[in-house]
Amino acid sequence: MRLGVLDVGSNTVHLLVVDAHRGAAPLPAYSHKTELRLAEHLEKDGNIDRSGAENLVAFVKEAAELAEDKGCESVLAFATSALREAPNGLTVLDRVRAESDVDLQVLSGQDEARLTFLAVRRWFGWSSGRLAVFDIGGGSLEIAAGSDEEPTIAVSVPLGAGRLTREGLHSDPPDKDEIRALRKRIRVEMAAVAGDVLRAGKPQRAVATSKTFRSLARICGAAPSDDGPYVARSLHRDDLTDWVPKLIAMTAAERADLPGVSVGRSTQLVAGALVADAVMDLFDVSSLEVCPWALREGVILNRLDQLQPR
């Protein structure tokens, strides 16, 4: 069957069309995305402004038409922290449904972590043993760990790269006081959940997903995306430790010239690097394997699991 998956994130809105059936890996057939940056359309009271809502409605309508053109049987549409936390999020959702006829569902942070974990488990398989999975989004950091397909623990922490940049980094390049304050904030908030994750046991495999981790791994020497998804990629703590001060000293324009870094993501890379550095330190991880599957694939796999066997 052909499915469309519409992912409304804090930074990017992405339609992915896949050919999939139960028991098989979903095969990408078409991709269409835009950097809508919903999180930058927040008013002082946290509401999504008129422009942000209109842009979202327009893209969802466009995505629905594209999914129909590509022969999708259905579209699985979901949104994450930007809509989840906005006081007028339900109003915006109602407008999207009324004008696009797409049932856009808001995932909880725990569900984000749980579904991402499912995708990583399926990618690496049972031989990986106990997994710990980390995903840096625009608004939040998701952490999940466990030995089964359902994680033992799944948590979401408000440590997304976009959020931290908006709230803590105002200079370009950031000054030392901003970095010091942001580093402290990240480590305090992460330490509050680290104990619960570690209490269940040290992971046999630590895995990272998300564009932020992929960009950091690429900067630190991992293979480019053009080499395909089956090339092993890792982010090593020693390499990241060397790069963090270099990234801090650069302007956003200079970071955009680095391999694997887009102009749109370059402003958020310092905050993302500080989060990644804290993950590897507080969870005592020397390296993170980068998984090409993440939340979107988890949503697809979860949907296929609900289908009756032929």
Q: What is the pLDDT of residue 191?
A: 96
- Whether residues 94 and 201 share a domain: the answer is no
DSSP secondary structure letters along 22-91: TTS--EEEEEEEE---GGGGB-TTSPBPHHHHHHHHHHHHHHHHHHHHTT-SEEEEEE-HHHHH-TTHHH
Do 167 and 197 lie in one domain? The reply is yes
- Report the C-alpha gap between 10 and 77 in whole angstroms: 14
Give the pLDDT confidence score for residue 202 in this predicted structure.
86
Q: Please indicate, yes or no, if residue 221 is contained in any of the structural domains.
A: yes
Query: Does residue 49 surpass a pLDDT of 70?
Result: yes
Q: Which of 106, 131, 146 is the last residue of a domain?
A: 106
Q: Which residues contact 25 (CB under 8 A, 6 or more apart)?
A: 122
Of 65, 80, 106, the position where a domain reaches its end is 106
Give me the number of domains the chain comprises.
2
Is 308's pLDDT higher than 70?
no
CA 9/CA 189 separation, integer angstroms: 22
What is the domain extent for residue 136?
A: 109-295
- What is the structure's pLDDT at 113? 97
Query: Are 18 and 79 found together in one domain?
Result: yes
In this structure, what token pair is assigned to residue 67?
């999914």
User: Using one digit for the tens of pLDDT, what is the confidence trace for 138-176?
Assistant: 999 999 999 999 999 999 999 999 999 999 999 999 999
The CATH number linked to 101 is: 3.30.420.40
Please tell me which of 99-103, 155-159, 200-204 the model is most confident about, judged by mean pLDDT: 155-159
As a whole number of angstroms, the distance between CA 143 and CA 140 comes to 10
Q: Do 249 and 117 belong to one domain?
A: yes
CATH number of the domain that residue 161 is part of: 3.30.420.150
If asked whether residues 174 and 213 sit together in one domain, one would say: yes
The yes-or-no verdict on residue 200 having pLDDT over 90 is: no
- Using an 8 Å Cβ cutoff, are 156 and 142 in contact? yes
Q: Is pLDDT of 199 > 90?
A: no
**Cα(275)–Cα(20) distance, rounded to whole angstroms?**
34
Q: Is residue 87 part of a domain?
A: yes
The stretch 124-134 carries a mean pLDDT of: 95
In a domain? residue 216: yes
Which of 106, 135, 152 is where one domain is finished? Answer: 106
- Of 11, 82, 78, the C-alpha closest to 46 is 82
Q: What is the pLDDT of residue 37?
A: 86
Same domain, 223 and 235: yes
The answer on 94 and 225 residing in a single domain is: no
Q: What is the pLDDT of residue 310?
A: 56
Q: Could you report the per-residue pLDDT of 58-74, keeping only the tens digit for each?
A: 999 999 999 999 999 99
CB 300 within 8 A of CB 29: no
Over residues 78-95, mean pLDDT:
92
pLDDT of residue 309: 63
Instruction: Check whether 36 has a pLDDT greater than 90.
Output: no
- Listing DSSP states for 233-250 in one string gives -EEEHHHHHHHHHHHHHS
Taking the model in full, what pTM does it have? 0.94
- Measured distance CA(139)–CA(22) in Å, rounded: 32
Indicate if 37 and 119 belong to the same structural domain: no
In the prediction, which pLDDT does 23 show?
Answer: 84
Cβ neighbours for 102, distance < 8 A, ≥ 6 positions apart: 6, 60, 61, 63, 64, 75, 77, 96
